[in-house]
Structure 1
Amino acid sequence: MDLFCFPPFPDSLYDALGYPKEGKCSDILIISQEEADAYYAAAERCFRDVDSAAEYFIASRRLDELGIPDYAVPVIERTYREYIRHPHMLGRFDFAGGLAGLPIKLLEFNADTPFSIFEVSSLQYALARYHELDPDHFQYNSLFEQLRDFFAELLPAHAGRGVLFTNAADGEDDLNTFIIKDAAKHAGLTGTCLHWTDVCIDRDHGLCSVDKSGAYIDKIFHLMIKMVPWDLLFLEDERMARELLRSMERDPGLVVCNPPYAAVYQSKALLAHVQRLFPENPHFLPAASSPLPDVAQVAKPIWGREGRNITIWENGQAVTRTDGFYARQPLIYQQKAELVCDGTHYYQAGVFISAEVPCGLGFRRGPSPIITTDDAMIGHIVDHGDIRTRPTLRPYLLSLP
């Protein structure tokens, strides 16, 4: 594993991409073909087993153990049964290891509204192109193309109907939604893009938009692509969660991506069961809803995000922790996995999966073994023979302990 260190990417190019300056990183990881293949194989296997675990909890009516509210259960059950009409659009597996000989271990599945879509699909591609590293052939990054194919499958059922793309009024969310909407456009599916506060559920008209006064506007949607997580609605906007689910009950033709059952995948409480249900899967870590005996472990909220409110425990002592907004949530305790470290930075891999197909690999790195959304995204390129000897590059070999 090599790291190519480059001078800072020019601010003008970030400006052209519309990418915020914070967290930018010009360096690029060089990984082997075998390492890249192993990440994709791990994502494929983990999705299969996580999906089976979700099916088990749905079928056995135990969703309350995962933090799912009772009022969401009927629509979760129906959309999961009808998954062909309600496909899972996009999620991201976060993995420890996978480089420098370390085993790949699943940290969590961001199954509902994963961040870094823009960074993985576009930014790391632009960085590699800028440095003439040929990402078209040597980067594990078909995220945009897989999203396009996902929407192409939806097109026959939704062409000519109202399509809504929505997210919170946030710069990063805007970038992620832009990529999703552009992929849909390339598949022939166009629609309206609104911030979440401009969306409402009208009792008579269903899912629609509102004006600044909150009055209904004559625009009805039958397909909603939302970058607002179900769990956030459950916890912070129960009224909207209930109304949206009720609208899906009244109108079985209304499709929301990601579908309600994505919340089952998303719940970190599921991590406390997948290793028990699938002990032969080498990527699952032991986890439980109470502290694990005699091992270093990580405590994390079941609906936590962005690396917030996480604590690493070793020998009964909290050695590292982050703050955040999720301190009052139930916790799961997961055996600590070893992250790749170059002596300065820790590295965490993220593998996107769309419609059950792994399609995008990206990395974040930071000074702490708890990687957060504030840490830098770093691109990658797959080794192709002469890449280390190119005179325009200034690599140094990562010195791993």
Structure 2
Amino acid sequence: MQRIPCPERDDWRVTAARCGFDFYELDGERYWDERAYYAFTIAEIELGIEEPTAELEQMCLALVERVVGDEALLRRLKIPQAVWPLLAESWRRRDGSLYGRFDLSYQGGRTPAKLLEYNADTPTSIFEAAVFQWTWLEQAIERRILPGRADQYNSIHERLIERWRALGKRRRVHLAGLTANAEDATTLAYLADTAAQAGLTTTILDVADIGWRETGGGFVDLEDGNIALAFKLYPWEWMFRDAFSVKLAQAPTQWIEPPWKAILSNKGILPLLWQMHEGHPNLLPAYFEDDPKAAGLGPSFVRKPIYSREGANVSLVSDGVAVSTQEGPYGAEGFIRQAPAPLPDFGGVFPVIGSWLVDHQPCGLSIREDTSPITGNRSRFLPHAIL
């Protein structure tokens, strides 16, 4: 694993605009950054990232099986009791999942990748991972920025189309999110495009525009059309707090991601996975903060809210002192503590590997780097290549 400086394409901003990638800068700072790329060997991809990702996914699915039938664990994860039947029924039906992303600390070579967290419900940056970094690869080879035999670990786009065919069965899919947010809007538009390529009819709408029809009971769009199949770029824990959550069990809507994914999008799975597979090479020791065993981590650990996104309210504690902290609105439900997994340091920048799954199968990676060891919303996205 190397970080290799390289010239950027002089027209990459024009290319981004043509692709609909209009958040390549955030608050005047680069989000997409191709002044360097990360290079891997094929062995690092297959053995260091792909195989552990597949194994971690199976461990997570086994954890869901355990949690849905255990009231004590559902309480431990701070999942509202009112939605327990919704999760259990969704799991019993094996409601289909579209995609997810593990965040890994990986030093390269034969050092095992370590699971930092699982973005199981509403992972973003998929457009950049599936499309824009592939475009970079093709053009970088054409312009001799990369060797002619360079490749990329990336079949995300093709896998999404294939998965939509199985999930959608040529139906209409409504894709809902916070459409005023540029990143969310681009993600929704990209996923709508992959669904359309799979033969589905698509409608994009804001979450706030989802309505309810009392007669017959069901969610509807602005044209009063039934929402039978819905992709939501809106976290389950937010939905559970919203007023319409009481309607979720009554509606015939099939949700993507399905309700049982609410379990895996919770950072409480990290101590539960460690409890089930203590000593596993791809896991870090982790405990709920009120567990006496948490003291065994000593004075240095990572403190994470049970619910959190984009690194918010995460703290790196070293010798009892918080040396790096991200502000945010989370933490009311409690915290977990996780053993630190130092990220590789490439001259003061720290990369996190995003390992993507579609239909539970590993199929690509993305890299976010920052000058802080906590990856946040403003962390840069760099492309990768297999050399």
Same fold? TM cut 0.5: yes
Give the Å deviation of 1:102: 3.8
Q: Which residue of 2 aligns with 1:164?
A: 174
Query: 2:201 is paired with a residue of what secondary structure?
Result: coil
Partner of residue 271, structure 1: 270
How far apart, in 2, do the equivalents of 1:358 and 1:136 lie? 23
Q: Where does structure 1 lack aligned partners over 5 or more consecutive residues? A: 211-216, 384-401
**What is residue 99 of structure 1 aligned with on the other side?**
108
* Preserved CA contact (<8 Å) 1:296 1:335: yes
Whether 1:375 and 2:374 are equivalent positions in the alignment is no
CA contact (8 A) 2:307 2:331 kept: no
Which whole-Å CA distance do the structure 2 matches of 1:246 and 1:137 have between them? Answer: 49
Counterpart contact for 1:299–1:310, Cα < 8 Å? yes
Task: Check whether the contact 2:3–2:346 (CA below 8 A) recurs between aligned residues.
Answer: no
The alignment partner of 2:212 has SS state of strand
Structure 2: 5+ residue runs without aligned partners? 26-30
Tell me which amino acid in the other structure corresponds to 2:267. Answer: K
Report the CA distance between 1:255 and its aligned residue.
Answer: 0.8
What aligned pairs does 1:132-143 form with structure 2 within 5 A after superposition?
132=141, 133=146, 138-143=151-156
Q: Which runs of 4+ in 1 moved over 3 A?
A: 7-10, 133-137
Q: Does structure 1 retain, via aligned residues, the 8 Å contact 2:98–2:257? A: yes
Name the structure 2 match of 1:67.
78
Residue pair 1:162, 1:219 contacting (<8 A) in 2 also: no
What residue in structure 1 maps to residue 218 of structure 2? 206
Alpha-carbon distance, 1:336 to partner: 0.5
- Aligned letter for 2:249? R
| Structure 2 SS opposite 1:360 | strand
Find out whether 1:5 has 2:29 as its counterpart: no
Show the counterpart of 2:360: 356
TM-align CA RMSD? 1.9
Cα distance in 2, alignment partners of residues 359 and 114 from structure 1: 15
* Contact 1:166–1:227 (Cα < 8 Å) also in 2: yes
| Counterpart pick for 1:35 among 30, 44, 47 | 44
Q: Is the 1:363–1:379 Cα contact (8 Å) retained in structure 2?
A: yes
How far is 1:190 from its partner?
1.6
Q: CA deviation at 1:240?
A: 2.3
Other-structure match for 2:315: 311
* Other structure's SS at 1:126 match: helix
Q: 1:102–1:338: 8 Å Cα contact kept in structure 2?
A: no
- Taking the TM superposition and a 5 Å limit, the aligned residue runs for 1:115-264 are 115-132=124-141, 133=146, 138-156=151-169, 159=170, 161-169=171-179, 170-204=181-215, 205-210=217-222, 217-235=223-241, 237=242, 239-243=243-247, 245-248=248-251, 251=252, 254-264=253-263
Shift of 1:100: 5.2
Q: 1:114 aligns with which of 109, 120, 123?
A: 123
Letter in 1 for 2:108: L
Aligned-partner residue type, residue 2 of structure 1: Q
- Kindly indicate whether the alpha-carbon contact (under 8 Å) linking 1:308 and 1:325 is maintained by their aligned counterparts in 2: yes
Q: Corresponding residue for 1:18?
A: 20
- Identity within the alignment, %: 27
Counterpart-to-counterpart distance in 2, 1:171 and 1:97:
30
TM-score normalised over the length of structure 1: 0.86
CA distance in 1, matches of 2:148, 2:74: 42
Q: Secondary structure at the match of 2:278?
A: coil
Give the deviation of 1:97 after TM superposition: 1.5
Offset from partner CA, 1:254-309 (integer Å, 9 cap, x none): 31100000000111011111111012531111111114431521001111000111
What amino acid maps onto 2:386 in structure 1? Answer: V
Give distance in 2, aligned partners of 1:317 and 1:280.
27
Residue 330 of structure 2 corresponds to residue 326 of structure 1: yes
SS in 2 for 1:191: strand
What is the Cα deviation at residue 103 of structure 1? Answer: 2.6
Tell me if the contact between 1:298 and 1:313 (Cα under 8 Å) persists in the aligned partners: yes
Paired with 1:355 and 1:198, the residues of 2 have a C-alpha distance of 28
Q: What's the CA shift for 1:137?
A: 7.3
Separation of aligned partners in 2, 1:310 and 1:40: 27
Residue in structure 2 matched with residue 397 of structure 1 by the alignment:
none
Match of 2:202, as an amino acid?
G
> What is the rounded CA distance, in whole Å, between the counterparts of 2:147 and 2:17 in structure 1?
22
**More displaced, 279-288 or 256-265?**
279-288
Q: In 2, Cα distance between the equivalents of 1:314 and 1:338?
A: 12
Q: Please say if residues 288 and 337 of structure 2, whose CA atoms lie closer than 8 Å, have aligned partners that are also in contact.
A: yes
Are 2:297 and 1:285 aligned?
no
Cα drift, residue 117 of structure 1: 0.7
In the superposition, the TM-score normalised over structure 2's length comes to 0.90
Q: Which region of structure 1 is more displaced relative to structure 2, 372-381 or 320-329? A: 320-329
Instruction: Choose which of 33, 51, 57 in structure 1 pairs with 2:67.
Output: 57
Change (3 A) 1:355 1:21: closer
- Return the offset for 1:328: 2.9
CA contact (8 A) 2:103 2:118 kept: yes
Instruction: Tell me how far 1:7 sits from its aligned partner.
Output: 3.3
User: One-letter code of the match for 2:68?
Assistant: I
Other-structure match for 1:213: none
Counterpart Cα distance in 1 of 2:190 and 2:93? 27
